[in-house]
């Protein structure tokens, strides 16, 4: 087994304690009383089959059943300085399939989530255009519409793991991602309306996009991308965007870092160069070992994580049949293949994708195995349609050093103990 670096926190379970627990934890056989009770669940009429149940849901908007009350966004208290400049994490460990329900999709705000009515919504397009225009929400609804599924990953996702394994849960290490079906209008359609496309040479032009919140979160996007697949969205997963995701209108920038997905979109200025705003200079750049910073690192490189088993999802059923599951995505296109390793990256086997990978959208992978009940170092490795292979942590550090926060797409390792408990570790 490779050398394992354990998480350096007070809460970590020591290797010895994990091993001591394992003999008890691995018991599979059920006691005879438990077996009788379990059979009664099928042979005896249960209370829920003997009386009339509640009628239709009287609450105006349904919530998940209370038994699923654990599938919620969570934050990391020491990471969240205050409520308005905050972040919470998607419970990716507890979800399946590929679509993230809005109600538990991570949020990241720089100045809180604003309450903006459709009636008060305005989108201004100005700068190097033939006719600067202001659109209402209802104007936007009159353009031809499209639907697309895309992931949105904050550039800071996994950022806390650069120096060592730290947060114990896929929700916390990889939960700054969501994957939704958006309904809206391609930005190129709107830019065409203001006379931009007719205006001639767009090669060196940019758009500067801003939100209506106090932070405004301004970002520059090269025109080539703006006219390619950038999308002005007003619905997610079939319903209106939630307030926290930018109601009533947000920008969708497929495959590119979440910070560019401007919420409460209020202004798009066509410029002849990047604005070099605060969000794209002091933030979202990565400082290398020699002190230089990487610039314009917009596309999120291919990445994956095993979501189950993971620290919040220990193996409870003992050895034998085990379904390993996880997520993979790439900002450079579709996921082509995902490999899974049970021994810290020495041997790799191909996982199955639940459906063929889609461009800039999350893929779900499954790997079915027969677990011998021994310790495992679980890893997954994504390969996208460009042939790019997700790097190990050692490979990434060799190129990027240790100063970065953003754009950490390295292979994640989970240590699985004999008792099925799972812990965030590093292998070297």
Q: Which residues bind ligand MTE (CB under 6 A)?
A: 105-110, 152, 154, 178, 211, 213, 215, 217, 244-245, 258-259, 261-264
Give least dist CB 297 to Co ion, A.
13
Residue among 259 and 325 whose Cβ is closer to Co ion: 259
Residue among 108 and 393 whose Cβ is closer to Co ion: 108
Residue among 158 and 392 whose Cβ is closer to ligand MTE: 158
Q: Which residues are CB-neighbours of 343 under 8 A, at least 6 positions away?
A: 1, 2, 376, 377
* Subset of 345-404 contacting Co ion (CB under 5 A): none
Residue among 286 and 339 whose Cβ is closer to Co ion: 286
Give least dist CB 136 to ligand MTE, A.
19
Position of tokens 């966004």? 73
264 touches which of Co ion, ligand MTE, none (CB within 5 to 8 A by kind)? ligand MTE
Residue among 107 and 229 whose Cβ is closer to ligand MTE: 107
User: Pick from 25, 175, 258, 326: which binds Co ion (CB under 5 A)?
Assistant: 258
171 touches which of ligand MTE, Co ion, none (CB within 5 to 8 A by kind)? none
H helical segments located in 50-169 = 137-140
Count of residues that interact with Co ion, criterion CB under 5 A: 4
Asked if residue 259 binds Co ion (CB under 5 A), the reply is: yes
336 touches which of Co ion, ligand MTE, none (CB within 5 to 8 A by kind)? none
In the numeric block, which tokens belong to residue 350? Answer: 């191909």
Asked if residue 407 binds Co ion (CB under 5 A), the reply is: no
Give least dist CB 404 to ligand MTE, A.
16
Distance CA 140, CA 122 (A): 10
Asked if residue 211 binds Co ion (CB under 5 A), the reply is: no
User: Pick from 7, 93, 108, 359: which binds Co ion (CB under 5 A)?
Assistant: 108
109 touches which of Co ion, ligand MTE, none (CB within 5 to 8 A by kind)? ligand MTE
Distance CA 302, CA 297 (A): 13
Q: Which residues are CB-neighbours of 152 under 8 A, at least 6 positions away?
A: 177, 178, 179, 180, 252, 258, 261
Strand, helix or coil for residue 344: coil
Residue 36 Cα distances to 44, 133, 420, angstroms:
11, 72, 26
In the numeric block, which tokens belong to residue 232? Answer: 């002005």
Q: Which residues are CB-neighbours of 81 under 8 A, at least 6 positions away?
A: none
Residue 206 Cα distances to 28, 63, 191, 229, angstroms:
61, 42, 12, 14
Give least dist CB 107 to ligand MTE, A.
4
Q: Contact letters (x/-) for Co ion, 280-299, by CB under 5 A? A: --------------------
User: Pick from 99, 116, 125, 154: which binds Co ion (CB under 5 A)?
Assistant: 154
Residue among 230 and 425 whose Cβ is closer to Co ion: 230
In the numeric block, which tokens belong to residue 315? Answer: 């193996």
- CA count, 13 A, side-chain hemisphere, 315: 32
Asked if residue 263 binds Co ion (CB under 5 A), the reply is: no
Residue among 160 and 425 whose Cβ is closer to ligand MTE: 160
Measured torsion, CA atoms of residues 412, 413, 414, 416, in degrees rounded to the nearest 10: 150
End-to-end distance of the chain based on CA atoms, in angstroms? 10
* Contact indicator for 404, 287 with CB cutoff of 8 Å: yes
Give least dist CB 251 to ligand MTE, A.
8
Residue among 244 and 375 whose Cβ is closer to Co ion: 244
Distance CA 258, CA 109 (A): 11
Q: Give the residue nearest to ligand MTE (CB).
A: 211
Give least dist CB 85 to ligand MTE, A.
8
Give least dist CB 280 to Co ion, A.
12
Supply φ then ψ for residue 158, to 5 degrees.
70, 5
Label the pairing between strands 265-271 and 122-127.
parallel
Site residues (vs Co ion, CB under 5 A): 108, 154, 258-259
């Amino acid at each position: 087994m490779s050398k394992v670096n354990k998480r350096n926190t007070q809460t970590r379970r020591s290797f010895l304690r994990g091993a001591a627990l394992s003999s008890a934890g691995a018991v599979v056989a059920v006691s005879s009383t438990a077996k009788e009770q379990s059979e009664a669940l099928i042979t005896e009429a249960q209370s829920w089959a003997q009386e009339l149940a509640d009628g239709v849901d009287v609450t105006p908007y349904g919530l998940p059943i209370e038994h699923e009350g654990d599938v919620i966004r969570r934050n990391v208290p020491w990471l969240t300085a205050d409520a308005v400049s905050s972040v919470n994490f998607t419970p990716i460990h507890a979800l399946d399939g590929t679509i993230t329900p809005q109600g538990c999709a991570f949020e990241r705000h720089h100045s809180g989530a604003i309450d903006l009515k459709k009636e008060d919504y305005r989108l201004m397009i100005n700068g190097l255009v033939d006719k600067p225009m202001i659109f209402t929400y209802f104007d936007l609804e009159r353009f031809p519409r499209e639907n697309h599924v895309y992931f949105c990953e904050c550039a800071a996702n996994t950022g806390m793991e650069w120096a060592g394994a730290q947060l114990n849960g896929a929700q916390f290490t990889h939960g700054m991602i969501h994957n939704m079906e958006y309904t809206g209008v391609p930005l190129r359609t709107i830019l065409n309306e203001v006379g931009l496309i007719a205006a001639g040479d767009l090669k060196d032009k940019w758009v500067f996009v801003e939100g209506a919140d106090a932070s405004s979160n301004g970002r520059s996007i090269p025109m080539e991308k703006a006219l390619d697949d950038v999308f002005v969205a007003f619905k997610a997963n079939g319903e209106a965007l939630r307030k926290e995701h930018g109601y009533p209108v947000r920008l969708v920038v497929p495959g590119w870092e979440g910070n560019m997905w401007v919420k409460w979109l209020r202004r798009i200025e066509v410029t002849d160069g990047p604005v070099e705003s605060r969000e794209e200079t002091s933030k979202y750049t990565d400082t290398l070992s020699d002190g230089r910073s990487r610039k314009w690192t917009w596309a999120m490189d291919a990445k994956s994580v095993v979501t189950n088993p993971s620290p919040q999802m220990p193996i409870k059923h003992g050895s034998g049949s085990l379904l390993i599951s996880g997520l993979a995505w790439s900002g450079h296109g579709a996921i082509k293949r995902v490999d899974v390793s049970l021994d810290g990256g020495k041997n790799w086997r191909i996982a199955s994708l639940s459906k063929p990978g889609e461009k800039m959208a999350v893929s779900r992978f499954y790997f079915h195995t027969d677990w011998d009940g021994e310790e495992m170092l679980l890893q997954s490795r994504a390969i996208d349609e460009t042939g790019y292979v997700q790097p190990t942590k050692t490979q990434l550090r060799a190129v990027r050093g240790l100063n970065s926060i953003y754009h950490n797409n390295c292979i994640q390792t989970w240590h699985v103990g004999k008792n099925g408990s799972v812990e965030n570790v590093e292998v070297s």
